[in-house]
Structure 1
Amino acid sequence: MVRRNDERRAALVDAAIEVLAREGARGLTFRAVDTEAAVPNGTASNYFANRDDLLNQAGARFYERLQPDEETIAPLVAAGHDRAAYVELMREVVGRVSGFRTGYLAFLELRLEATRRPELRRLLTERVRADVDANVSYHEASGLPGDAMAVKLLMLTLNWLIVEQLTLPDLYSEAEREAFVQAAVERLIVDEHPVAAPDRPGTPGS
């Protein structure tokens, strides 16, 4: 029974993410979530104490669903501790995050809503800080080039590139976005080995 309840809760939070991405925070109601999840009216209200609870859990669920596949990441890290390997790793990250389009758009809605809801702001601040710290720790343990400041600057740069891609997809071509990723790594990550220009633009896959 507990497992079924956990699965139903996850499905409802996933439905909330879809509603947030499509309708914005104003459109997120228990009834809208029930409809999106194709469950009887009143189901969501049985799982979440209030709308704030639903918003908070949607923020946490976004990160759960973006956890990287270690089988994909490990070979990229092991391929070589230089900027060329880092470029491919960042392409994987950008592709993975932008591939969860509704999740990222919902997360942007949550970020805006957090300016009006102190508890949500506290939750997102803690979660994003933990994500930054985890990325820095992983980077340092991997032996990849660049220091903590470079990692943080790269995260800020690529996060906005993802925003541009998802909100104004015609602003830059795929080839331009690929070039931005490579240029960001080349200019922020210090390494004695130059990064050779690829024969053709890679495909985002993060």
Structure 2
Amino acid sequence: MVRNEARRTALLDAAIDVLAEEGARGLTYRAIDTRARVPAGTASNYFANRDELMSEVMTRVHERLTPSGESVAKSLALPRDRSLTVKFMHDIIKRADADKACYLAMMELRLEATRRPEIRAALTATIAGGIDANVAFNEESGLPGDRMAVVLLYFAMTGLIYERLTLPDVVAPMDLDELVEVMVGRAIG
């Protein structure tokens, strides 16, 4: 059977929405088909099992959250100093605000990884690879901060974004600009 890549992407996007809205327990082929508005049985034709589906959802989440090459190039035209690092952190927050479903789906995948070793292994490889890529990008771009600074910012931003998505009233009274500025300052000096 020939597979339609546009339909595959639509099914993955529907799966992300289902994960974000209903959690991992609500992620069924039927829920995906309904969300994608395709005939019943379509998702099962594209994904042989739940592990394959979740693995491909992880990949799709990262595709959706990765900034465009054009956006990165535009930012890299600026001076490569602490203020650019602050800008990159704000860009991450903007992408999270623009695509909350992806971050919520990633949270669900992380929770599922605590119960399923095969998902844990795949997600660990994906996240560790992403951190390594961020470190390499920072070094190759000549941005301030060493590996530890990038790792600290990764964990700080992950926590901040998840807090904003799950308990926004905790973060709401804080000045987001100041918070990001201090995080970057503490990480890179």
Q: TM-score, normalised by structure 2?
A: 0.94
- Which whole-Å CA distance do the structure 1 matches of 2:15 and 2:142 have between them? 39
- Which whole-Å CA distance do the structure 2 matches of 1:47 and 1:159 have between them? 31
Q: Return the offset for 1:174.
A: 7.6
- Aligned AA (2:104): L
- Which whole-Å CA distance do the structure 2 matches of 1:47 and 1:86 have between them? 40
Q: Return the offset for 1:170.
A: 2.1
Which is bigger in relative contact order (C-alpha 8 A, separation at least 6)? 1
Alignment map for 1:1-206 (pairs within 5 Å): 5-173=4-172, 176-190=175-189
Aligned to 2:170, the other structure's residue is in SS state coil
Bigger-Rg structure (1/2): 1
- Which whole-Å CA distance do the structure 2 matches of 1:164 and 1:93 have between them? 14
- Which whole-Å CA distance do the structure 1 matches of 2:56 and 2:71 have between them? 27
| Structure 2 stretches lacking a partner, 5+ long | none
More helix as a share of residues = 2
Q: Return the offset for 1:119.
A: 1.1
- Which whole-Å CA distance do the structure 2 matches of 1:184 and 1:70 have between them? 25
- Which whole-Å CA distance do the structure 1 matches of 2:134 and 2:95 have between them? 15
- What residue is the counterpart of 1:201 in the other structure? none
- What residue is the counterpart of 1:202 in the other structure? none
| Structure 1 stretches lacking a partner, 5+ long | 191-206
CA contact (8 A) 1:161 1:177 kept: no
Q: Return the offset for 1:179.
A: 1.5
Which stretch shifts more, 29-38 or 52-61? Answer: 52-61
